[in-house]
Structure 1
Amino acid sequence: MSQPPSHGQVFLQLVHDSRMHVLLLKEPREEASGPDPYIKELASHGHKATLIPVLSFKFVSLNTLADKLFQPEKHGGLIFTSPRAVEAVKMCLEESKKRKEEWSKFLRDQWNTKPIYVVGKATAALVQNLGLTPLGEDTGTAEVLSRVIIEREDTNIPPLFFPCGSIKREVLPTALREKGVPLETLTVYQTSEHPDVEKNLRNFFTEQGIPACVAFFSPSGVKFCLELILRLSGDRLTQIKFAAVGPTTRDAMAAEGLCVSCTAEKPTAEHLAAGISDALL
């Protein structure tokens, strides 16, 4: 008859399990089929991942956004630096059958004669779903994208239209303004703390214990839940590796005194999973 595991064996098993557990502080990817790509990619590296949304979004100014979208002749192109901004466009177009028809018949093609700048593959994929052709999906950050735009655009173009969030960083607008590239911004969504983030984090730490790695996906995520994670971790904080999806998030983490173990080379599931796996070796 097999012997029950000793306390030491149980402790080692718990440590082993926790090494494999990654906490992702992001909302699930809204896709009809299959798991979130970050969960899927981490699983392929042998890690169990849990998603906890830390941000809540409210869409605003959609009528104004629709007016802008239906006047492409007044703009030199579009800029999208977040999936949420593209979702706002999609909501505008789905507001009525007439809008969808006009978009499909001629508006989409009119916009496609102009540059559609994006940051990241997730945003690029949503832009493609609208029938638009994205530029710059490999840039990774708004700072790098701004350099691409400055290289391509003259100062005498109609303003580029930039639908954005309420707490966007000013890196891109500032860079374009300094080089004289016209830009028109419109806040189309507001970001706030997810109403269930504290409850969900407490439940996670109670049920799963200390994770091997915590990955942040935005400076807002750092702002809204870092303090709680520090409290829940207590004197076992040093067991956790901290990962960032990109340099902007890494800088926000470092500003709070966190030791960042890895930063994804690009903001993709593949690059973040590879970085986390290396950090957990």
Structure 2
Amino acid sequence: MHVLLLKEPRDGDSGPDPYIKELASHGHKATLIPVLSFKFVSLNTLSDKLFQPDKHGGLIFTSPRAVEAAKMCLEAEERREEWNNSIKEKWNAKSIYVVGKATAALVRNLGLNPLGEDTGTAEVLSRLILEREDTNILPLFFPCGSIKREVLPTALRENGVPLETLTVYQTAEHPDLEKNLKNFFKEQGTPASVAFFSPSGVKFCLEVVRRLSGDQLTQIKFAAIGPTTEEAMTAEGLCVSCAAQKPTAEHLAAAIAKALQHFPRCECFK
């Protein structure tokens, strides 16, 4: 069966996307359509912060894009040399918090040692941070996107853990999104399953998917990468057939494969 993945390709992966690969192992053909476009901002300020570890109590990365912004600050040879010779070890003496395996892998590529890759959500990560940190530390530094959720900053501030945020990328709808969706439905027909990977994906894609699916909408098994995305889907009246237990390719593919073994129409659309 055909599965539509509404996500960006994994950065730096020369092989097949892991979600496509995992779904293929379950006998399903998957197509990936990028939903978002990104513009990096404030990189000079980010660079200054990254090269002043003594002013912060640790780092927080909750998205691959934030790590990508950090990587861009290390592109100059002299900066990379300074990072490798001294700066990264100063950061590694502190806590480097992350959400998700993809973000953790990119953080390791910077030479940093991540904590929390199995947390899965900002809510769970915030609890881990509160267990480990106290109110006397220097501010944790959190480079983030323009449409980040406020769950983590709110939890830390309400508990007195100092935090400094910096917007390092802005998120917008991918300019070719509607065209790519129309081409997919024209060539492949209505997919058996559609997977969303973020609340932004729900916001930008859902109405187009509804329109293109027509009266076949209730036959689609809608999948969510995690609870935050599932909440956004439910809030829009979608019947969520499955959600990944953890935000990994293996868990999402297993959930979709299980959902596709059952074929009753979903009647819970508003």
Q: TM-score range by the shorter chain?
A: over 0.9
Provide the residue aligned with 2:266 in structure 1.
Answer: none
Q: In structure 2, the residue corresponding to 1:146 is in which secondary structure?
A: helix
Question: Are 1:162 and 2:142 matched, yes or no?
Answer: yes
Provide the residue aligned with 1:50 in structure 2.
Answer: 31
Letter of the 2:42 counterpart: S
Aligned-residue offset at 1:31: 2.9
Letter of the 2:242 counterpart: C
Aligned-residue offset at 1:32: 4.1
Identity %: 83
Provide the residue aligned with 2:160 in structure 1.
Answer: 180
Question: Could you list the runs of 5+ residues in structure 1 that have no partner in the other structure?
Answer: 1-19
Q: In structure 1, the residue corresponding to 2:253 is in which secondary structure?
A: helix
Question: Are 1:113 and 2:93 matched, yes or no?
Answer: yes
In structure 2, distance between residues paired with 1:218 and 1:194: 14
Provide the residue aligned with 1:4 in structure 2.
Answer: none
Aligned-residue offset at 1:75: 0.2
In structure 1, distance between residues paired with 2:118 and 2:13: 24
Q: Output aligned runs, 1:127-276, within 5 Å.
A: 127-276=107-256
In structure 2, distance between residues paired with 1:102 and 1:83: 23
Q: In structure 2, the residue corresponding to 1:125 is in which secondary structure?
A: helix
Aligned-residue offset at 1:216: 0.2
In structure 2, distance between residues paired with 1:250 and 1:33: 30
Superposed CA RMSD: 0.5
Question: Are 1:99 and 2:76 matched, yes or no?
Answer: no
In structure 2, distance between residues paired with 1:238 and 1:153: 46
Letter of the 2:220 counterpart: I
Aligned-residue offset at 1:115: 0.3
In structure 2, distance between residues paired with 1:44 and 1:29: 19
Q: In structure 2, the residue corresponding to 1:233 is in which secondary structure?
A: helix
Q: In structure 1, the residue corresponding to 2:73 is in which secondary structure?
A: helix
Provide the residue aligned with 2:42 in structure 1.
Answer: 61
In structure 2, distance between residues paired with 1:212 and 1:32: 26
In structure 2, distance between residues paired with 1:32 and 1:199: 25
In structure 2, distance between residues paired with 1:45 and 1:34: 18
In structure 2, distance between residues paired with 1:82 and 1:117: 11
Q: 1:74 aligns with which of 35, 55, 59?
A: 55
1:212-266 CA-partner distances (Å, limit 9, x unpaired): 0000000000000100000000011011000000000000000000000001000
1:21-64 CA-partner distances (Å, limit 9, x unpaired): 00000011123431000000000000000000010000000000
1:174-193 CA-partner distances (Å, limit 9, x unpaired): 00001000000000000000
Question: Could you list the runs of 5+ residues in structure 2 that have no partner in the other structure?
Answer: 262-270
1:65-123 CA-partner distances (Å, limit 9, x unpaired): 000001000000000000000000000111x1111010000001000000000000000
Q: Output aligned runs, 1:5-24, within 5 Å.
A: 20-24=1-5
Letter of the 1:44 counterpart: S
In structure 1, distance between residues paired with 2:95 and 2:175: 37
- Normalised to the residue count of structure 2, the TM-score between the two structures is 0.96
In structure 1, distance between residues paired with 2:13 and 2:243: 29
In structure 1, distance between residues paired with 2:112 and 2:259: 37
In structure 2, distance between residues paired with 1:27 and 1:74: 34
In structure 1, distance between residues paired with 2:3 and 2:194: 6
1:139-194 CA-partner distances (Å, limit 9, x unpaired): 00000000000010010100000000000000000000010000000000000000
Aligned length: 261
In structure 1, distance between residues paired with 2:102 and 2:167: 20
In structure 1, distance between residues paired with 2:13 and 2:182: 29
Letter of the 2:245 counterpart: E
In structure 2, distance between residues paired with 1:256 and 1:201: 19
In structure 2, distance between residues paired with 1:278 and 1:31: 30
